[in-house]
A and B are shown apart, each in its own frame.
Chain A
Amino acid sequence: MDQRHDSAHKHVTGSAGYIDDMAAPEGLIHAYLGLSSIAHGDIKSMDLSAVQAAPGVVGVLTSDDIPGHNDVSPTGKHDDPVFAHSVEFHGQPIFAVVAETRAAARNAAALAKVEYTAKPHFTDVADARAAGYPLVTEALTLKRGDAAKALAAAPRRIRGEMRVGGQDHFYLEGHIALAIPGEDDEVTVFSSTQHPSEVQHMVAHVLGVPSNAVTVNIRRMGGAFGGKETQGNLFAAVAAVAAKKYNRAVKIRPDRDDDMIATGKRHDFLVEYDVGFDDAGVISGVSANFAARCGNSADLSGPVTDRALFHTDNCYYFDNVLLQSQPLKTNTVSNTAFRGFGGPQGMVGGERMIEEIAYALGKDPLEVRKANFYGGEGRNVTPYHQRVDDNIIAKLVAELETSSDYAARRKAVLAFNAGNKVIRKGIALTPVKFGISFTATWYNQAGALVHVYTDGSVHLNHGGTEMGQGLNTKVAQVLADEFQIDLKHVKITATHTGKVPNTSATAASSGSDLNGMAAANAAQQIKVRLVEFACETYGVTPDQVVFEPNMVLVGNQRIPFPDFIQSAYMARMQLSAAGFYKTPDIHWDREAGTGRPFYYFAYGAAVSQVSIDTLTGEYQVDRVDVLHDAGRSLNPALDIGQIEGGFVQGMGWLTTEELWWDGEGRLRTHAPSTYKIPLASDRPRIFNVALADWSENHEMTIRRSKAVGEPPLMLAISVLEALSMAVASAADYRVCPKLDTPATPEQVLLAFERLSAEAGGA
């Protein structure tokens, strides 16, 4: 059902409340972070007297003011201080100042006099590795067959490397937290977070109080994309420490620049690959290393780099394979979750191998793709030994090929390029297979709390968070469907650690799968009691109680839902339930690199056509056709929104969004003036998006739907490959352009020049 986003009316009228819009509690004060001004070294001295003396300042906070642990590491590695003593990246928080106004705090923070003993710093992966920097967390190896042997025996073999850039989340609402002190050890925190339970636990850890003293709330975020999975911990902790210290409500909201400098991003990777194949392009062996710029701490780099390996195969069967991750420490901000969670980087590396093979053999890359698709006897096992049982990629791609008129358009593009000197075109079809479930198996659980009030109205609460994806709308739809009441009777309420405890992050595309099921479970518990009540009261059997739209049919009697509920209440039935769900059948042995980490796979494919200007490298996306698998969609309108938005975000990642550090280790692209996410005019000139309406999840997911948050981002790999084809026209498609990402106009032009030179001059 194409239900609108539950907050759409509030969004368009400006009345949807975000944390910064809340009416300020009496006596609210504001915190601001003081950031390091070197990339690596020890703090020799920190003179905060001028900060303290600045107008409006209430006080300063250093690590000495932290009553519990000076640590917000989400993995328990104690490598993520709230305030650092030894500096590991430029812009690392080292103190905070609290003042009567945000402006006063921000102005004062700039007055610190800090002396450092600088050490050499390494921001780049290759440099850090050469300098012998350690790994921030344990590496993963995925292995099946004998890759070395297969590579040695392969008729053809290509080795290469690819740089895959990171990405800033650029959620429109930056990080923010508001802490209100309570009695005894209590504190309530409003935090823009995807993971309220973790914020709760981290605040408790930093305050040195039990988790039951901390309550975390979030109604909605202004975007998150993974950037608020762990990165909100810092701000919540600082606000809470200050709130307890001064016994006043404290808000902290960094300026956009500081948000971008001091919080983590998508991991950059250096992918080194070695692929063996035959003249038909069929891959016999793959060996690849994924070195990641993890930044100063582990954060989520372990599971992120794991997921890169889980998606290197994408839709392709690798007969012999060895994949290794190398989560390297660097003197940059600790990188974190970002839509796809390493999967996109792994997939783009895998697709580069396909591209290499295609250019080496003079084939359309799509031919090479099809030759390697999973399917057929003995060709359905992933590098992590999970069988691909729900494979629909061949059907999906065939359908898209036809609907997008791929073959004819590719011919037309080749003909266009043959007749044009300045403008060149490219077209590419790339597939996506994305594993759904947290690879941290225990995260695959969710809770919901549902109350039915005596007037028949329903209160919905669940552990997921709303960041714009429409999760609340979908879960409310599920609940309305269970009770057969109109959606307007379901009240969506803020995520609250006091209502549903020990929740997982709303991440890994899992929000609707997990919370939808938990809410359905809660509703079913209440319905069981209601049926029991009806049987007792009206003397019917359970099959004679049917929930009809806004009515309950009991025997021959149709009772309006509110009246029925009122009677149940009078009969002292419990009209509230806590629902629970855990994903069945999944397991993962990380040591052995085997298991079934994913409950199912979501699929999709896209055809992108681009034009490049070979005088400047500038380009545009002329047309995109998408066919995506959302299973039996809970809400096609919202799912298409996720696909369109994910695609354009993925396109930004691979094209214009460039993170640039200077020689001092300073990130210089830290605001929209310097960091360029797509605009309306960058979206494809023609954008056809369709759902594979015949698909349904073969697992028992909520209404047989499939997760849709992350997979579409990787459809944008087709844009990168289309750019690559346009560049390849410089050398008659005989040389793989090997574009690194982001493929900025600069990268495109330089690659075009390089290939022109290789081809003997354009």
Chain B
Amino acid sequence: MTQTRKTIRFLLNDHKVELDKVAATDTLLDFLRLEQRLCGSKEGCAEGDCGACTVLVGRLAGGNLVYETVNACIRFVGSLDACHVVTIEHLRRKDGSLHPVQQAMVDMHGSQCGFCTPGIVMSLYSLWMSNPNPTNADIETSLQGNLCRCTGYEAIVRAGLAAASAGGQADDVIIRERETVTATLKGLADGARVEMGTASEKFFVPGSVDDLAELRAANPDSVIVAGATDVGLWVTKMMRPIAPAIFICHLDELHQISETATGHTIGACVTYTEFQDAVAQHFPQMAGYWNRIGGEQVRNMGTVGGNVANGSPIGDTPPVLIALGATLTLRNGDERRTLPVEEFFIDYGKQDRQAGDFVESLHIPHLAEGCEFAAYKVTKRRDEDISAVAAGFRIRVEDGKVTEAVIAYGGMAATPKRAGSVESLLVGKPWTAQTIASAEAGFAEDFSPIGDWRASAEYRALVARKLLMRFFLETTQPHENSVLVREAVA
């Protein structure tokens, strides 16, 4: 029997905090601003999109202390046990002088109204710590989750470069105190189950995955919260209760990525950021796609497992997971069952999930020899936008003929869905422009997309077809100038 605790304990800047009154829906941002009067972090949107509330959260990942930017507005206090929360107030040096990142922002005129600035500083700070020689593109990536309405960003990017030139990492407060903090967090991570609050405030923090299984079985109506990048909005936007909530993002076992002979098995809490290296190495075709999921803060928080479990028709990962033939393992108590990801999505808001089930892991097969694979996402704004249409393509061409085709779209139906008719019009045919043209007829059978604020039905249908054309062009004429080149060319 796991030991039970009734408090949440974490480090806040330079001191330990132990809270005995926390509700499931309490957010880190409200805690900072209302209870601690640390008002540097701002609320700009309360949905994890503007980044004005960006703080760093340090956590132990396999015993190693990792700091990541997160959106405090949708990060639940209950999920912070044994973490180190670092806010803008922690950056200024003891003698009152500015941190190099702050100084660079001042020198480059990187702030105008100043409201987004603390969040921008935190994002640049995180970059400065992890990447001493950032390119323009690295800075843009680090700012994907930060909106500024005044500056046009030019001065902020200049500040990012200037901060890198300034260096000074050795004097940085959290780099210097790394060992002490690691030891403190290890002390706090006692493996106990945390159980707090009653009724609408109730939540659990399981001590282990087995403990999670037990809690889930006992509380089949519970809301499992991993990255909170969607559940956070249920609270801040829809004002929905989530009790009893089970916070799971701290469970090391669920952050495991293991490579087997057949592919990668990833735990349900593997974040987009954690899987990024594996993507770059094994699926470079979707590295660009991966980098367009949310902003950096969202990729640090959000999990692949959660993206699937959520069941949204516009989730970023299902189309590519389906195209790759990924499977999903659901656990219920000690029972497990594994099914293809595509079969998990039954209808809008409905997944193949029994009472007590939770997503434990995903398995993504290696891309077989001779397979072509691509992932595309079409949005109004390039970064940090929800897809109008997303697609994953995988085909195998042998002796000039298509022998296998798996094509999955998001945004085209009530669930992420395969283009079965299109696939069947491709298989057995030569991989030629003519085949593509005749396969386009399949789209009308496969999809009747809706129109909404992200795109009209007409555009969705058109783009879906065009993406198949793009895939064809990229596989057959890889040297053609057919994608936007992001890096500046004089």
Contact = CB atoms under 8 A, between A and B. Distances in A.
Given A613-B483, A669-B453, A14 B149 contact: no
A367 interface: no
Interface string A15-34: 11110110100000000000
Contact of A173 (B113, B379, B380): B113
Interface of B: 33, 37, 39-47, 49-50, 52, 87-89, 91-92, 98, 102-103, 105-107, 109-118, 121, 139-141, 143-144, 146-157, 236-237, 239, 376, 378-386, 388, 452-456, 458-459, 462-463, 466-467, 469-470, 473, 480-490
A492 interface: no
A399 B45 CA distance: 43
A8 B150 CA distance: 14
Most buried by A among B380, B385, B456: B380
Interface in A461-494: 467-470
A749 B481 contact: no
B114 A620 contact: no
A422 B453 contact: no
Given A13-B98, A469-B112, A637-B109, A170 B88 contact: no
Given A421-B482, A645-B152, A672-B47, 12 more contacts: A4-B107, A4-B109, A16-B117, A173-B42, A173-B113, A223-B115, A223-B149, A613-B483, A615-B470, A618-B379, A677-B149, A746-B455
Contact of B139 (A5, A221, A648, A680): A680
Interface in A637-657: 637-638, 640-641, 644-649, 656
A668 B149 CA distance: 21
A222 B113 contact: yes
Contacts of B91: 13
B459 A172 contact: no
B459 A749 contact: yes
Nearest to A21: B39
Contacts of B470: 422, 615-616
A750 B461 CA distance: 12
A622 to B, nearest CB: 7
A676 B381 contact: yes
A685 interface: yes
A683 B45 contact: no
10 contacts: A5-B111, A172-B50, A173-B115, A421-B480, A649-B149, A679-B153, A679-B381, A679-B383, A681-B141, A753-B462
Nearest to B25: A103
Contacts of A170: 147, 149
A381 B118 CA distance: 49
A757 interface: no
Interface in A92-118: 106-107, 110
A668 B455 CA distance: 12
B117 A683 contact: no
Contacts of B52: 172
B44 A256 contact: yes
B149 A674 contact: no
A256 B47 contact: yes
Contacts of B388: 746
B112 A615 contact: no
Interface in A680-713: 680-683, 685-687, 689
Contacts of A222: 42, 113-116
Contacts of B114: 5, 7-8, 10-11, 16, 220, 222, 468
Contacts of B381: 656, 676, 678-679, 682
Interface string A596-631: 000000000000000101011111101100000000
A11 B111 contact: yes
A606 B454 CA distance: 30
Contacts of A470: 112
Given A220-B114, A222-B114, A749-B459, A12 B98 contact: yes
A373 interface: no
A44 interface: no
Contacts of A12: 98, 102-103, 105-106, 110-111, 117-118, 121
A172 B480 contact: no
A501 interface: no
Contacts of A23: 37
Nearest to B121: A12
Contacts of A456: none
A-B pairs, top 8 by smallest CB distance, nearest first, are A14-B40, A468-B113, A222-B115, A11-B114, A648-B152, A468-B112, A672-B49, A14-B88
Interface in A172-223: 172-174, 220-223
Most buried by B among A7, A12, A468, A686: A12
Nearest to B151: A645
B463 A616 contact: yes
Interface in A40-87: none
A651 to B, nearest CB: 8
Given A12-B121, A222-B42, A255-B46, A467 B486 contact: no
Contacts of A676: 380-381, 385
B153 A613 contact: no
A339 B44 CA distance: 20
A470 B112 CA distance: 7
A529 interface: no
Contact of A674 (B43, B453, B462, B483): B453
Nearest to B92: A13
Interface in A694-750: 744-746, 749-750
Contacts of B116: 172, 222
A646 B106 CA distance: 20
Given A9-B98, A618-B484, A685-B487, A647 B152 contact: yes
Contacts of B150: 223, 468, 641, 645
A225 interface: yes
Interface in A251-303: 255-257
A5 B113 CA distance: 9
A172 B112 CA distance: 11
Nearest to A2: B109
B441 to A, nearest CB: 18
B107 to A, nearest CB: 8
A616 B378 contact: yes
B106 to A, nearest CB: 4
Nearest to A7: B114
Contacts of A223: 112-113, 115, 149-150
A672 B112 contact: no
A257 B378 contact: no
A214 B240 CA distance: 39
B147 A15 contact: no
B461 to A, nearest CB: 12
A556 interface: no
A648 B453 contact: no
Given A14-B118, A620-B382, A672 B45 contact: yes
B113 A649 contact: no
A674 B387 CA distance: 11
Contacts of B87: 14
Contacts of A107: 239
Nearest to A169: B149
A457 B376 CA distance: 61
B394 to A, nearest CB: 19
A172 B382 contact: no
A11 B49 CA distance: 20
A669 B49 CA distance: 13
A423 B111 contact: no
Contacts of B110: 12
A402 interface: no
B113 A672 contact: no
Nearest to B485: A611
Given A8-B111, A106-B239, A674-B453, A225 B149 contact: yes
A636 to B, nearest CB: 10
A641 B109 contact: yes
A637 B50 CA distance: 26
Interface in A105-147: 106-107, 110
A469 B52 CA distance: 19
